Structure 1
């Protein structure tokens, strides 16, 4: 679980970025405070979520080291919330217990997860130079293999299995994101995926009681917005809060 590629989602129709930008010093401060929030929620967080949320783009996390990826493609996904609550601390503790109990079994699984991350990184970094559709079946296979491995280490949940079955019935490939144990999953959308297919998948996911959004990953990090860039619905919500 300590080897991963992280990409920041971008909401569909994301608000326009204001002309002013955060300085590096300000970003460092934002990141440090965001990390303290992660500590309150997760106990001993990796620092990945706050880092990618602050600086955006994509990064690789391995053995406590965070390395930004210089270039990544913009990928379309479905982001689905199963609405199943989970505790990251409990899930991590359970995975560690399983690793300690069955090291000869679990260590190769972790090595395979690391190899999946390395292969994914190679594909993502190659795509901007050569945006070939042949990369998408590779990413889909990596999604499937990774999801099975995450189930093995104890990060799965019946709600996530259901999510994967529903999207698979529409020819789409999904995996959990975050700690697992419920929470959210992501579904990769090829550029040529039919809008009718996407809408049908969203309809079936919502019928399961899930929430679902179309979005992109590999987006900018924290941005400063002016009130004039907010749409009326968002501005009203802020004024009411």
Structure 2
């Protein structure tokens, strides 16, 4: 019988440099800004959801038949796209699949608590899937429980993280159909550069950023298609722009690797200039938006530098907050952005990936949520 609590967190993500260029074979650097904790509902008897339990594996995509059966079991309408429905479906699939391969997951209560807004391109579903995979795998003893007595946090071995990432990717497939795998990799390891995954905490400093949601909806699929169309129409013009974005990503990576854990101010002018150059390039390839232009103008009026993050066309932008920024200037910037109808959070980039926490490390807000569940 499982008689302990598992408290897990996984970060969301922002794309620092390389939006859209990565689709065409260029380097992308992603850094996770936010960490969120868990939430959910009691696990059902997953074994009753499907008659056959033999066709589950972390390397196999969920089948249409499996998902249809689970939707019927959970009372989820065909074609339902609400985050709550997709989260429930991902939980049912992962619980059933992991039980089928490693032995029954014990009866558990799952509570999800998150600071990540959904649908904003910040990897909220991937953070959820990573925490869920780690919790279920630990509960059925497919991986270790690495937290030792007296420790506040712990992380799994590289081999165990690889397994967590594989199952989290299946959860992302349930939610998104055909995801890239980048978001769950960031949630698992903490940083994704190009096509290689590596831990972020060993070589990238913690940097303060202001994350702004313009609340302008956009379609990543449409924006990607638009960029592709421009490249096909003007290859001699667009390909050099993508090469330049690639060079920006590599230059930024070099600067970050050279920065100490507590960087001094001289590094920031380079990072700020890279933000400006990349933002202009992203407008050139057609993924800018008036709301993002407004964001950049507002922050520039306060001496700060911003760029879009993700697909563009609205969505979110990031602003670098250099050391020594006075509270008055920060508050004025945030106030002016909110006056535009935007929503802002201050956070850090450079957080670790999925982490196991001691119950004593929970903050008051999460403890209250747990007590109400």
Q: How many residues align?
A: 235
1:108 to 216, 231, 240: 240
Structure 2 runs not aligned, ≥5 long: 1-19, 37-113, 116-150
Say if 1:98 and 1:67 are closer, same or farther in 2 by CA, change over 3 A: same
What SS does the aligned partner of 1:9 have?
coil
Structure 1 contact 43–89 (Cα < 8 Å) conserved: no
Higher alpha-carbon Rg: 2
Structure 2 contact 29–253 (Cα < 8 Å) conserved: yes
Q: Which moved more, 1:33-42 or 1:123-132?
A: 33-42
* Structure 2 Cα separation of the partners of residues 138 and 59 of structure 1: 21
TM-score, structure 2 length as denominator? 0.58
Say if 1:101 and 1:239 are closer, same or farther in 2 by CA, change over 3 A: farther
1:74-116, Cα deviation, whole Å (9 max, x unpaired): 1111011111222222221221122112111110000000111
2:169 to 35, 40, 44: 35
Structure 1 runs not aligned, ≥5 long: none
1:130-151, Cα deviation, whole Å (9 max, x unpaired): 9442210111000000011111
User: Which residues in structure 2 correspond to 1:20-99 (within 5 Å)?
Assistant: 20-39=154-173, 44-56=178-190, 58-61=191-194, 65-68=195-198, 71-99=203-231
Structure 2 contact 214–291 (Cα < 8 Å) conserved: yes
Is 1:6 the counterpart of 2:138? The answer is no
Q: Which structure has more strand as a fraction of its residues?
A: 1
Is 1:210 the counterpart of 2:234? The answer is no
| Greater relative CO, 1 or 2 (CA 8 Å, sep 6+) | 1
TM-score, structure 1 length as denominator? 0.86
After TM superposition, give the deviation of residue 228 of structure 1 in Å: 3.2
What SS does the aligned partner of 1:156 have?
coil
After TM superposition, give the deviation of residue 199 of structure 1 in Å: 0.8
* Structure 2 Cα separation of the partners of residues 107 and 72 of structure 1: 29
* Structure 2 Cα separation of the partners of residues 141 and 91 of structure 1: 25
The equivalent residue for 1:220 is 352
* Structure 2 Cα separation of the partners of residues 18 and 162 of structure 1: 42
After TM superposition, give the deviation of residue 54 of structure 1 in Å: 1.0
* Structure 1 Cα separation of the partners of residues 364 and 263 of structure 2: 37
Q: Which moved more, 1:33-42 or 1:181-190?
A: 33-42
1:170 to 302, 305, 319: 302
* Structure 1 Cα separation of the partners of residues 153 and 315 of structure 2: 35
What SS does the aligned partner of 2:217 have?
coil
User: Which residues in structure 2 correspond to 1:173-188 (within 5 Å)?
Assistant: 173-188=305-320
Moved over 6 A (4+): none
Q: Which moved more, 1:141-150 or 1:129-138?
A: 129-138
After TM superposition, give the deviation of residue 189 of structure 1 in Å: 0.7
Structure 1 contact 81–210 (Cα < 8 Å) conserved: yes
After TM superposition, give the deviation of residue 5 of structure 1 in Å: 1.2
1:35-68, Cα deviation, whole Å (9 max, x unpaired): 3344456554432222122111x3321xxx2253
What SS does the aligned partner of 2:215 have?
coil
* Structure 2 Cα separation of the partners of residues 234 and 196 of structure 1: 30
* Structure 1 Cα separation of the partners of residues 281 and 175 of structure 2: 25
